[in-house]
Structure 1
Amino acid sequence: MTTLRSTLDTKGDSFAENRDAMLAKLAEIEAEHAKAIAGGGQKYVERHRKRGKLLARERIELLLDEDAPFLELSPLAAWGTDYHVGGSMVTGIGVVEGVECMIIASDPTVKGGAMNPSSLKKGFRAADIAAQNRLPTINLVESGGADLPAQKEIFIPGGRTFRDLTRSSAARVPTVALVFGNSTAGGAYLPGMSDYVVMVKERAKVFLGGPPLVKMATGEESDDESLGGAEMHARVSGLADFLAADERDAIRLGRGIIRRLNWHKQGPAPKPDYAGPRYAAEDLLGIVPTDLKVPFDPREVVARVVDDSDFDEFKPLYGTSLVTGWATVHGYPVGILANARGVLFSEESQKATQFIQLANQSDTPLIFLHNTTGYMVGKEYEQGGIIKHGAMMINAVSNSTVPHISVLMGASYGAGHYGMCGRAYDPRFLFAWPSAKSAVMGPQQLAGVLSIVARQAAASRGQEYDEEQDVAMRAMVEGRIEAESLPMFLSGMLYDDGIIDPRDTRTVLGLSLSAIHNGPVRGAERFGVFRM
């Protein structure tokens, strides 16, 4: 039998403590997410509505199929910066006319939808996901272009936005622009480089230079409508393929474009019949300890995520700090690598390497469930080859071509973050639980290392070490590293694709796997040299 049997004590004190801590973290994240949903604030929302316009999320809701899910991405972009939480845009994957699409919507209530450095990175990440997973892109456009005070961080890298559009078209993955308002200056190239363009009559304005700039540059007198209005572009320039009567009509036309794409997924379909997990998703709130130094059994997570709680564990008696095995999620076959006791030893590294190779042989996507403090250090382990064995695992992750999805449940420190397919290793999606932390090492360890180095430096100079200063230094470093390793900080920097409620893990994985299968799923035919 490969059905997992849970031993989780859901009535115990530790479970209740873990659950309460997780719910408190979720409440904090929900409060920050509410800031993104609120847009630029009540004043600017009301001004937008008085103009007869829909909000960004209302446009998305009308665009999506009825009752279709929307997997919002990077909702906390810009958190911890001087810019508005959310990055003045909404991005995510939704189903339009039965087709999974990447949707990118400007939020005109935040500085007129102007692009800042965080929103630029958010748009880049959305474009990467669309390209990797072969998703048609729908841009809901109403933006004043670059946030000019930040132009030095936007102008040069910003050209990638238009490059990505043309590359998508060249890859035969359609791009659609629905223009509801301004799309000016460099932003004019967004509809200009899209495959299909819809503009709203008397609302859309698309030009390289507005009337004041034209007056300054050429002396020519012009007005918005004759220079770049929707009707002019539909009747004269030909930039607009469709002229919409209003916003709802533009969304109707956009849905019609997607309906006529004749779109087909290239990946294998999921199994038509599957059962849900045998254990409640609600239990996921109480599994991760409040102290991440305390290990937990990731099989308890797997049992509440995979179909029928059925998990065929691979090499269960070898390298037991890493759990590996096969399962299905919403009918899609997957391989799972999950940290059991934090540290990765040589045995775990070799086990992971073999498992990743096997997944590539069978064209099976991989899910990485993170709770690792990194690879083991010490004389015994260095002599035993931990570097070359860790390198084997990282080599396998780097050169694996089956899709990867990472979920940070607890700690994700040091090179263990790399071996478990952290952001730099291009997982198709990377999500974090509110309990997750990620850094070069734990705060206490990092502060301790700095203290040892400082003591040695003082001794080499023949100076007495200042113990009071050491205590203050360690407290300052621990506080800073702790703050910088928290999921909201990392999410604000776009180091994950969103912080998710643990109870939603199965749904999020299912939506991600479905998006992934828009493209082919093929394993690597060869790997780099493994140091044995």
Structure 2
Amino acid sequence: MATHLGHETRPTKSKVNTKSAEFQANYKEMLALVDQLNERLHEATFQGEDRLLELHHKRGSILARDRVELLLDDDSPFMELCPLAGYDQDEMTTGGSQVAGIGLVCGVQCMISATIPTLQGGASNATTVARGERLGRIAWENRLPQIQLVQSAGANLAQQSRVFHPGGSAFRNLAERSKAGLPSVAVVFGSSTAGGAYIPGMSDYVVMVKGKAQVFLGGPPLVKMATGEVTDAESLGGADMHARKSGLADQLAMDEYHAIQMAREFVSGLNWQKQGTLPIRHLKGLFEEPLYDPEEILGIVSANIRIPFDAVEVILRIVDGSRFTQFKPLYGPNLICGWATIHGIPVGILANNNVIFPPEANKATQFIQLCNMRDTPILYLHNITGFMVGKKYEEEGIIKAGARFINAVSNSQVPAITIVMGASYGAGNYAMAGRAYNPRFLFSYPNSRCSVMGAEQLTGVLDIVMRDSAAKAGRKIDEEKAKVASSMFQAMVEAESDVYWTSSRCIDDGIIDPRETRTVLGFCLNVCYNTEVKGGNQYGVSRM
């Protein structure tokens, strides 16, 4: 039996035939989906028309993505979050006119966001607000210092009702962060007006660029309208004034490069430490790569979500040394549970191989309790159509078993990370720590779908309900109209369960290339250890 860093566990042997026609065909389909994803992610890096970029440069300004790059440490990873927020939505900009994600600044993992002034003036729209709320939650839960690189025309007034009402939470979050001792930095490169003035106003540390930053509650036209006072933007809210008179600016930078350097200096002086203790084997890189090539995940995970696949085969390509110790492998076999390490960090893994029956739910409940007892983060890998229905299973207590499962997920204290690998339907989504259950991070594969149930099933259920209702009322059904209505409804459900639809609305934190799963997980697990990783007594009242 092989010994691995003090643990005696054999690598699990893969059963995949990578030469089979089925594997090769699926690989090609998944590769096409990944290529499509990469095209759309590239589109999301758009920062505006060439003429606007040229004008921005002529003014001596740095593009938003370059500002982020300069802020980051050399060779720092940067995990962009919700990059497709707003994708294919009318009146929205993909990404909400901002660049945002987690990267290293002076060795400290920080949540970084930068408005893109060359894209609709960097104005905030409804997508900006939704993405900002999600980024704020990630930063809060993972105890990340926050750096905002600001240059924005303010709110998109055409969407004022969708920006104004939820948008105030961004300022409340800054106040709550400050009380909790979570540092926030605002670097103002240009305009930050009206509500945007409260970003520097409520940040812990503010840097403004001389001759460029302008921060005021109301610009010169509004001041003249409201008070009759005639003034210019620079004297009203310029960086020099705020540094010398109002005191809003903590530092006056001579140019944009200087401003970015000042932000880095602030972070370097925080003496920021992780509260969680990462394993030595992670810190020193003392872990094995999987025995099997992650490239093979493209041939394993079904491009067509109606075709099942073995989740264990995915696990073997993302965990260290392909070593995976299953828990209760012969009981409730449709739900895979077990322990492994990823980049040297212990994880408990739950993965679906089919529908959930009472034994699967019971196994999951106990496993989640054990992970909490071990202070071990949990990884949920979705490919689930839901809980089994039918008279037999109701009598066997599927509701009670499912409730215990969901109870355990809801009250679990250790960090959870969720990846939707295929279907994620109904209460199966809830039980496997879907968005409503607040996993620290949630990502999707480009083949995945998420909704209350499959489009065909949902359309069929509604058709049955409609016919039963008509029969009880003695009404005759117009079959032609019913067929058209069913077809339209099914198309709507198909569209709204599509991964790009859900990612556009920040239901996940990004769509990822399945081959990058291990890298993404290693990064996220490291981020989770900014807080203490500790389980607890996670159980409330439950029906036994």
* TM band (smaller chain): over 0.9
Q: Which residue number corresponds to residue 182 of structure 2?
A: 173
How far, CA to CA, are the matches of 1:164 and 1:507 in structure 2?
A: 30
Conserved? CA contact 2:30–2:302, under 8 Å: no
Of stretches 518-527 and 100-109 in structure 1, the one that deviates more from structure 2 is 518-527
Q: SS in structure 1 opposite 2:337?
A: strand
Of 212, 222, 234, the residue aligned with 2:231 is 222
One-letter amino acid of the structure 2 residue matched with residue 209 of structure 1: G
Conserved? CA contact 1:270–1:330, under 8 Å: no
One-letter amino acid of the structure 2 residue matched with residue 298 of structure 1: A
One-letter amino acid of the structure 2 residue matched with residue 392 of structure 1: R
- Please state how far the C-alpha of 1:49 moved relative to its aligned partner: 2.2
How far, CA to CA, are the matches of 1:454 and 1:9 in structure 2?
A: 46
- Please state how far the C-alpha of 1:526 moved relative to its aligned partner: 4.0
One-letter amino acid of the structure 1 residue matched with residue 531 of structure 2: G
Indicate whether 1:488 and 2:500 are aligned. Answer: yes
Q: Which residue number corresponds to residue 196 of structure 1?
A: 205
How far, CA to CA, are the matches of 1:461 and 1:189 in structure 2?
A: 59
How far, CA to CA, are the matches of 1:310 and 1:45 in structure 2?
A: 50
After TM superposition, list the pairs within 5 Å mapping 1:366-445 onto structure 2. 366-445=378-457
Of stretches 41-50 and 433-442 in structure 1, the one that deviates more from structure 2 is 41-50
Conserved? CA contact 2:408–2:538, under 8 Å: no
How far, CA to CA, are the matches of 2:27 and 2:47 in structure 1?
A: 31
Q: Which residue number corresponds to residue 60 of structure 1?
A: 68
Of stretches 87-96 and 477-486 in structure 1, the one that deviates more from structure 2 is 477-486
Conserved? CA contact 2:413–2:538, under 8 Å: no
**Structure 2 residue ranges without an equivalent (≥5):** 1-8
- Please state how far the C-alpha of 1:465 moved relative to its aligned partner: 3.6
How far, CA to CA, are the matches of 1:290 and 1:63 in structure 2?
A: 38
Corresponding residue pairs, total: 531
Of 44, 61, 65, the residue aligned with 1:36 is 44
Instruction: Provide, for residues 237-256 of structure 1, a one-character-per-residue CA deviation record: whole Å limited to 9, x for no partner.
Output: 11111111111111111111
Q: Which residue number corresponds to residue 15 of structure 1?
A: 23
How far, CA to CA, are the matches of 2:126 and 2:88 in structure 1?
A: 13
How far, CA to CA, are the matches of 1:67 and 1:38 in structure 2?
A: 23
How far, CA to CA, are the matches of 2:198 and 2:56 in structure 1?
A: 24
The 1:427/1:526 distance shift into structure 2, 3 A limit, reads closer
Q: SS in structure 2 opposite 1:222?
A: coil
One-letter amino acid of the structure 2 residue matched with residue 16 of structure 1: Q
Q: How many percent of aligned residue pairs carry the same amino acid?
A: 55
- Please state how far the C-alpha of 1:54 moved relative to its aligned partner: 1.4
After TM superposition, list the pairs within 5 Å mapping 1:128-143 onto structure 2. 128-143=137-152
- Please state how far the C-alpha of 1:478 moved relative to its aligned partner: 2.2
How far, CA to CA, are the matches of 1:132 and 1:442 in structure 2?
A: 32
How far, CA to CA, are the matches of 1:330 and 1:481 in structure 2?
A: 38
Q: Which residue number corresponds to residue 368 of structure 2?
A: 356
Instruction: Provide, for residues 426-476 of structure 1, a one-character-per-residue CA deviation record: whole Å limited to 9, x for no partner.
Output: 000000000110000001101111111122123223344444344333322
Q: Which residue number corresponds to residue 33 of structure 2?
A: 25
Q: Which residue number corresponds to residue 309 of structure 1?
A: 322
Conserved? CA contact 1:4–1:299, under 8 Å: no
Of 287, 290, 297, the residue aligned with 1:277 is 290
Indicate whether 1:69 and 2:77 are aligned. Answer: yes
Q: SS in structure 2 opposite 1:375?
A: coil
Q: Which residue number corresponds to residue 213 of structure 1?
A: 222
How far, CA to CA, are the matches of 2:338 and 2:358 in structure 1?
A: 18
How far, CA to CA, are the matches of 2:523 and 2:81 in structure 1?
A: 12
Q: Which residue number corresponds to residue 49 of structure 1?
A: 57
One-letter amino acid of the structure 2 residue matched with residue 339 of structure 1: N
How far, CA to CA, are the matches of 2:462 and 2:390 in structure 1?
A: 18
- Please state how far the C-alpha of 1:31 moved relative to its aligned partner: 2.5
One-letter amino acid of the structure 2 residue matched with residue 426 of structure 1: N
Of stretches 469-478 and 518-527 in structure 1, the one that deviates more from structure 2 is 469-478
* Runs of at least 4 residues off by over 6 Å: none
Conserved? CA contact 1:274–1:330, under 8 Å: yes
Conserved? CA contact 1:350–1:393, under 8 Å: yes
How far, CA to CA, are the matches of 2:279 and 2:485 in structure 1?
A: 54
Of 297, 302, 305, the residue aligned with 1:289 is 302
How far, CA to CA, are the matches of 1:282 and 1:149 in structure 2?
A: 45
Q: SS in structure 1 opposite 2:144?
A: coil
Q: SS in structure 2 opposite 1:266?
A: coil
